[in-house]
Amino acid sequence: MFVFVVLISLCYAATEAATPCCTHRRFQATLLELGGQTNLTSGVGSAIAHSMRMYYDYDNQRQFIISTPRPPSQEKGYRMFQDFVTRKSYYLSAVGSTLYCTVLNMQPEETMPPPCVQANATLKGSHYFGSAGQNVQAHTWSYYDENQVNIETTVTDDECTPLSVTSSGLIRGFGRTTTMLFLDFKAGISEVYRMQIPAICERPAVGK
């Protein structure tokens, strides 16, 4: 939907008060995440830069992510299927020519994020994205999640389509700040096979 990630944002005075909203309960999108993190024990910092293809199905409580690192990130790519009903995560990783599946039980506090702006979020501002002749109205909301990580999310005015999410706080022992841009957002899931437990996870290991 959005080809260019660098857009002009102009603030405007909303004629009607915006309210927290929800987007589609099933969608697919390409996500670009940029930022950095610091190990609070060692003080060593590292860059975060990777793209992800996400398939999201809130109705069936499943999502599938294909992550591809980008320079200067040192992280490895992976594929992850999550089933929040059975409370299991399936990580697919390659070692040489062999593809492995690791099955992990979810932590008790892990829940699938709903496709909604949190009800108690604070409206930070309203904007136009684009040029004067062709633009999209959007609203930026701010709130803290259950782990006290600050979240700022920007969504369109018409269908609550996510444009970006910025998170900042303590995450798994790291001081971490990232911004995630949503590209090519489409309602529904065309590649439905992505929403099934990967066949490789039924076997120990096979060649790619």
pLDDT of residue 19: 94
Of 204, 207, 197, the residue nearest 89 (C-alpha): 197
Domain formed by 21-207, architecture: Clam (2.50)
The answer on pLDDT for 205 being more than 50 is no
Percent of the chain with pLDDT over 70: 88
Q: How far apart are the C-alpha atoms of 153 and 114, rounded to whole Å?
A: 13
- Vertex 154, ends 149 and 158: CA angle to 5°? 140
DSSP bridge partners of 22: 116
Domain limits, the chain: 21-207
pLDDT of residue 202: 75
The answer on pLDDT for 88 being more than 50 is yes
The answer on pLDDT for 14 being more than 90 is no
> What pTM, to 2 d.p., does this model score?
0.81
Q: What is the mean pLDDT of residues 172-181?
A: 90
- Characterize the bridge pairing of strands 62-69 and 45-57: antiparallel
pLDDT of residue 35: 92
- Vertex 178, ends 106 and 191: CA angle to 5°? 60
The answer on pLDDT for 77 being more than 50 is yes
More confident residue, 170 or 121: 121
Q: pLDDT tens, 41-76?
A: 888 998 889 899 999 999 999 999 999 887 766 677
